[in-house]
Chains A and B, each alone.
Chain A
Amino acid sequence: MPKADVPLLELRSIRAGYDGVEALYGIDFSVQAGSLVGILGPNGAGKSTTLKVISGLLRPTSGSVLLEGQDVTGVSAVQLARAGVCLIPEGRGIFPNLTVRENVLMDSYTNGRTPAELEEVAYARFPVLAGRRQQVAGTLSGGEQQMLSLSRALSTDPALILLDELSMGLAPLVVEQLFKIVRELTETGVTTVVVEQFADVVLDIADEVVVMSHGRVRLRGAPKRVRKELHAAYLGKAAH
C-alpha cells in the first residue's frame, strides 16, 4: 500500500524540450494516490510533453520525477510501463496494421495476465470490439480505436494512468462514454492524470486541476476555484 503522506507522483522543477527547443520551464506538481488530476491548457502549453516526461518517453533536461517518493528520472519508458505506468497517448495508441486481437495481445507484456484474460476484460467493457477481433485496427472508427487504446488501462491493473487528449476527434457522445469509464476507474482507487484541451469534461470529474500555458503551471487547485479563473489563465493573465 502506498504511504498516505507520500504523493504517488511528484514532479520537481521539470525542464524539458525537443532538439534544444524548450517546452517546459520548470513544472512542479504532485498527485495523491487514488486521485484524478486534470491538466488543462491551450495548444502548445506543454501538457503532452509533461506526460511524455512522466512516462519516460522524454528525458527531462533537469528536475526530477518521483513515483511513490522514489526518483525515477531517466528510467526508460519500457521499465516504467512494466512498473505500472500506463500512458494512453494522444491520437490513438494502437497499432493500425495489427488486428484488434493482436493489439490486445501486445498488452500482455506489462502484467501477468494471459491474452485471453486481457481480451475478456476489454470485450466486457467494450462489446463492440468483440465483434471486430480479427479486424485490422486501423480500419476501426475513431471511437472504436480509442476504446481499444483505453482498454489497456482497464485490463492491465496499472498504478498510474496517463490519458492524453482522450477526446481528440471524437463525437461528444463517445467522449461522454469514455469519460464515464474513466470516472468509474478512479472510483476503484487507481491514480489518474488526464490531459485535455476541452476543460469542461475534466472540471466535472477531477479532484484537482493544473492549468498550464507556455510551458509553465499557471494555476492549481480544486475544479470549483479553477473554473472561475480559467479564462484568465488560458489567456495568460493568471501570473499577474
Chain B
Amino acid sequence: MEKFLVFLIIGIANYGAVYAISATGLVVSYITSGIFNFAHGAIGMFLAFVYWELHVNQHWSTLPALVVTLLVIAPLLGVLLDVLVMRRLVANASVATKLVVTLALLLAFQGLVLAIWGIKLRTTPQFFEDRSYTIGGLNISYHQTITVLTAGAVAFAMRALFRHTRLGVAMRAVVDNPEICAIKGVSPNQVTAASWALGSMLAGLAAILIAPGLNLEVNTLSLLVVAAYSCAVVGRLQSLPLTFAGALALGVGQGMIQGYLPSGNEFVSHLRPSLPFVLLFFALLVRREIRLPERIRTHAEPAPPPLRTTLLVSAVAIAAAIPLSGMLSDYQRIIGSKTLVFAAVVLSLVLLTGLSGQVSLMQLSFVGIGAVTLAKLPDGMPYILALVISTAVAGGVGLIVALPAIRLRGIYLALSTLAFAILMDDLVFGNRSVLGGGTTLAVPRPSFLGLHFDSERSFMVVVAVVAVIYANIFLIVRRSNFGRTLAAMRDSPNACQMLGMNLTAIKLRVFGLSALMAGAAGTLVGGLQARVGQLDFLWQRSLSVLLVGTIFGITSVSGAFIGALFFVVLPELANKTDAAGGALAIQPLVIGLLAMATARRPEGIAGQLRFRLRPLLGRVRAFSAPDIELPELEPAVAQS
C-alpha cells in the first residue's frame, strides 16, 4: 500500500502535474489562436534555460529570477512571436503551412538554445532546495507540493479566464473572426498578443517546474513536453478539465510503470518514457473526428515536363554520373552519394506531402526500417532478395501505420506520425536487443549479378541511378490518373468525397508507396554509412527532412535535389566552424528560420527560381526560334 502511495505521488507530482500545466498552456494557445503550437515545449525549454542563466549562472535568488523569466521575458517573447510569426499566419495560411511554421519554430528554438548555451548537461535546483515534509510516513518534497498546487491553480485560473472575463471571451472571439472583433471595437492585435504572452508564460512555467527532475538539456526537455500533446488531444484541444484529467492519468500511469514493472527489462525501461506517445496514438484513434474548417489551397504548380524530356534528362544524368564519379575524391563521392540518397528520401516525401498534402513526421522511421531489416537479414542471402524483403517490410509497416492514421487530417495526422516516429526511436532503433547488443548495426552495400558496389565510386553510380528512378516514379505518378487524384485530394478532400472518391483507399496507396520508396532508400542510407543506429532515424531528422523539403519546394523534383544537397552540405559547413556547440546549433537554427521564412510558398525556393528563370529561358528560346515568314492575312471583315 505504501509503495502504491509513493509511486502515486511520484506519478502525480513529478509527471502528471507538469504535463497538466504544459498541456493546459498548449490548449489555451490553441483555443486563443487556432494554431496548434508544436513549438510550445521548445519555448518552455528556452525559458527554462533563461531561468537557469539567471538563477544558477548569474546567482540571482529564486524569486527575482522567476519573476523576470515568467513575468517579463516570457510575455515579451510571446508578443514577439505573435507580431513576427503568428499574426501573419492566422490570416490566410493553410493548416499545413501553420503546421510547418510551428515545427520550424520548434527546430529554431532548439538551435537557438544550442547556440547560446551549448550542449553541456546542466541541472537546476528544486524550489526550496531539497526540503521536504512527512505525512503519514510519506516523504513529500516542497517542490512536489508547489508543482501540484501550481497545476491546480493554473487549471482553475484558465477556466475562470475563459468563463468569466471579457478578455477570455475576446481571446476566443478573435479566433472565430478577427474582423468582427474589430467592428465591435476590440483590437484583434492586442488580444492575440495577450494570448501568445499567456501561452508563452504557461510554457515557461511547466518547463521550469520539470527541469529539476531531469537534466536541463535540449532534447529531453522539448521531447518531454511533447507528452503534453497527448493530454491536449485527450481534451480534444478544447476541454481544459479533460486535458487536466488526461495529464494526471498519464502521470499516474508512468508512476505505476516505474514502481511495479521490472526495471531490468530493456523493453520496460523504454516503456515509461514512451507511454505519452502510446497514449497520444490511442487518443487520436478513439477520439471523434472534429472537422476543422478547411481552406481550399490554390497555388500554381508547374506542369510536369513531357515524358520525352524527362527520359532524356534521366539518361544524360546517369551517363554523366559515370565519368563524373571518376573525377571526384572519395570525400566528394561520399557527399555526392549522401545528397543523392537524401534526394530519394525527400522524393518519397514529395509524393506524400507535396503531391498528396499529407504531412508526415515519420519518413525516416521507414528509412530506418529498411536499413535495419537489411542489416538483420542473414549474410548469405542474395542482396536483391534482401533488398526486396527490406523494402516490403517498410511498405508493410507503412500500410499498418497508415490504417489508423489516414482517418486523420492536418495536425492530428502530423501528431500521430510524430507519435509513431518517437515510439520507433525508443522501442526499435534505440533498443539494444534489436541492435544486437550494440548501438549500431552493420549494413552491406549492394551486390548483384556478380558485381560488388563497395567502392565509393561504384556506389555513387548506383545511388545516382536510384535517385533518377525515384524522380521518374514521382513524375510518372504525377502524370497519371492516380497523381491527379492525389492532387485533388490535397486541394479539397471534401470535394473529392462529394465526387464519390474513396479517400481511404487513395491515402492507403500513397502512404504505402511512399513507405516503400523510403524503405528502399533506407537500404542505401545504411549502405552509405556502413553502420546505422538510433541517431540516424530520430524524429528530429524526419522533421529536418520535411522542413528542408518545404524550404526548397516540397512539390517538385528539383526542390528535392536542391534540398538534399543543402541538407548534406550544411552540417559539413557547420563542422568547419569551431564555435562551441556551433556545429550542432547551426543546422536546426538555419533550417528552422529558413522554413519559417518560406513556408507560405509551397513551391519553395526551387519554384521561385524556376519562376525567375522562365523569362530568361523564354528569351533563349525566342532567340533560337526559326524565322518563319507569316503570310499576310486578308481582313475578314471589309472596313466600312
Interface, chain A (partner B; CB < 8 A):
55-57, 76-78, 81-82, 86-87, 89, 93-98, 102, 105-110, 115, 152
Cα distance A94–B176 in the bound complex, in angstroms = 9
Q: Does B187 contact A (CB under 8 A)?
A: yes
Count residues of chain B with CB under 8 A from any CB of chain A.
17
Q: Please, what's the 1-or-0 string for B174-208, where 1 marks a CB less than 8 Å from any CB in chain A?
A: 01110111111111000000000000000000000
State whether A78 touches B186 (Cβ < 8 A).
Answer: yes
A108 touching B176 in the complex, CB below 8 Å, given contacts A57-B182, A81-B182: no
Among A55, A56, A89, A95, contact of B173 (Cβ-Cβ < 8 Å)? A95
Cα distance A93–B181 in the bound complex, in angstroms = 10
Q: Please, what's the 1-or-0 string for B232-270, where 1 marks a CB less than 8 Å from any CB in chain A?
A: 000000000000000000000000000000000000000
Q: Which residues of B contact A93 (CB under 8 A)?
A: 180, 183
Cα distance A97–B166 in the bound complex, in angstroms = 15
Q: Please, what's the 1-or-0 string for B155-173, where 1 marks a CB less than 8 Å from any CB in chain A?
A: 0000000000010011011
Among B175, B186, B187, contact of A106 (Cβ-Cβ < 8 Å)? B186
- Smallest Cβ-Cβ distance to B170: which chain A residue: A106
State whether B169 touches A102 (Cβ < 8 A).
Answer: yes
State whether A89 touches B180 (Cβ < 8 A).
Answer: yes
State whether A95 touches B177 (Cβ < 8 A).
Answer: yes
Among A57, A78, A96, A98, contact of B185 (Cβ-Cβ < 8 Å)? A78
Q: Which residues of B contact A98 (CB under 8 A)?
A: 169, 172-173, 176
Most buried by B among A95, A97, A98: A95
Cα distance A102–B173 in the bound complex, in angstroms = 9
Among B176, B179, B181, B186, contact of A97 (Cβ-Cβ < 8 Å)? B176
Cα distance A189–B172 in the bound complex, in angstroms = 35
- Smallest Cβ-Cβ distance to B175: which chain A residue: A97
Q: Which residues of A contact B180 (CB under 8 A)?
A: 89, 93-95
Smallest CB separation, A116 vs chain B (Å): 13
Cα distance A89–B177 in the bound complex, in angstroms = 12
Among B170, B176, B184, contact of A152 (Cβ-Cβ < 8 Å)? B184
Most buried by A among B179, B183, B187: B183
Q: Which residues of A contact B175 (CB under 8 A)?
A: 97
Cα distance A87–B180 in the bound complex, in angstroms = 9
Q: Which residues of B contact A152 (CB under 8 A)?
A: 184
Smallest CB separation, B77 vs chain A (Å): 25
State whether A81 touches B169 (Cβ < 8 A).
Answer: no
Cα distance A27–B552 in the bound complex, in angstroms = 46
Cα distance A102–B180 in the bound complex, in angstroms = 14
Q: Which residues of A contact B184 (CB under 8 A)?
A: 81, 106-107, 109-110, 152
Smallest CB separation, A70 vs chain B (Å): 18
Cα distance A132–B464 in the bound complex, in angstroms = 67
Cα distance A81–B180 in the bound complex, in angstroms = 11
